[in-house]
Amino acid sequence: MQNRLARIIKPKSGRCVMLAVDHGYFGNIPGALKDFGDLSPLFQHADALMLTRGMLRSCVSADFDIPIVLRVSAGASMLKELSNEEINVTIEEAIRLNVSAITCSIFVGGEYEKQSLMNLSKLVNWGQEYGIPALAVTAVGREMVRDYRYLGMASRMAAELGATFVKTYYCDDFENVTSICPVPVVIAGGKKLPEKDALQMAKNAINAGAVGVDMGRNIFQSDKPIGMIKAVRAIVHENASVDEAYGIYQDGPVGL
Ligand code: 5RP
């Protein structure tokens, strides 16, 4: 378990930059994910990839050495009730794919809250049996407010249920989320923001106790995705300032 986790959260800095490209699992197919093009120039700069087994098959060469955080949940598209998820990949398949962690979403306060919490519990039980970390993603329903009370409660619940680490959204007073969550916390990026704002969010999250990011759209939808992931890395691993990181983004090539 610790060995696999150390492939994702790098022991040297205690931090990680995960690249999330699992959006298509509920029918959300933004930007560079549309064309199944070669994303490997971007993947090279990530500490780990979070994706579905379909993306793993189609977009990641078997000889590419990168830890995989495999989404093993699915159920409803974004046209229906998203919280209606179940576990759709067996642990045997996850082991066969040699993944470093398994992940699903929890929908605290959502219609299928209990089902999603039991999904996470299943991953935790599998993880305990086979030494595979379980990442809980605190998904936020449209009706939920993204504040520290809600995100802190959802993150803490994930940890209490046994998640090895938690992915949640950034919010004001984020230290009130990390301070009540006893396992490492990474932030999702959310919808595409201007690059400087996304870098500021990453900086704020790290300053508030996050160990890193699991960012998707703010990287692969950027006009300079390689510059952007390098800039995020500088903040996460090297404590760069937002201005320094923004310079790194600006120096990146246009497109992939
Ligand atoms: C959705 C997810 C996605 O991986 C995550 O939200 C994607 O990252 P971003 O918000 O940065 O595009 O887990 O439940």
Q: What pLDDT is attached to residue 37?
A: 79
The tokens of 32 are what?
């560079």
State pLDDT tens for residues 61-79.
999 999 999 999 999 999 9
Cα–Cα dist 113/119, whole Å: 10
Please say if 167 is a catalytic residue: yes
State the pLDDT confidence band at 144, using cuts at 50, 70 and 90.
Answer: confident
More confident residue, 242 or 36: 242
Helices (H), 172-241: 175-178, 195-207, 217-220, 225-238
Can you tell me which residue has the tokens 């060469």? 61
Which three-class secondary structure state does DSSP give residue 89? coil
Q: Quote the pLDDT of residue 217.
A: 96
Q: Tell me, what's the pLDDT at 143?
A: 79
Q: How far apart are CA 71 and CA 28, in angstroms?
A: 15
7 lines ligand 1 (CB under 6 A): no
Looking at residue 177, its pLDDT comes to 98
Q: Does residue 142 have a pLDDT over 80?
A: no
Rounded (10°) CA dihedral 162, 131, 58, 78: -10
* Domain range annotation of the chain: 2-251
First to last CA, the chain: 34
> Does residue 216's CB lie within 6 angstroms of at least one atom of ligand 1?
yes
The set of residues, in sequence order, having a beta carbon less than 8 Å from that of 159 and lying 6+ positions away, is 136, 166, 181, 182, 183
By most ligand atoms within 8 Å of CB, the mutation choice from 82, 155, 217 for ligand 1 is 217
SS3 160: helix
Instruction: At 167, list the tokens.
Output: 């992915």
Q: pLDDT confidence of 32, banded at 50, 70, 90?
A: confident
Domain range 2-251, its CATH number among 3.30.2350.10, 3.20.20.70, 3.40.50.800, 2.40.50.140? 3.20.20.70
CA distance 256 to 252: 10
Using a pLDDT cut of 90, give the percent of the chain over it: 92
How close is the Cα of 112 to the center of ligand 1, in Å?
19
Reference 50, options 118, 11, 105, 1; nearest CA is 105
For a ligand 1 pocket test, name from 51, 137, 191 the mutation site with the most ligand atoms within 8 angstroms of its C-beta.
137
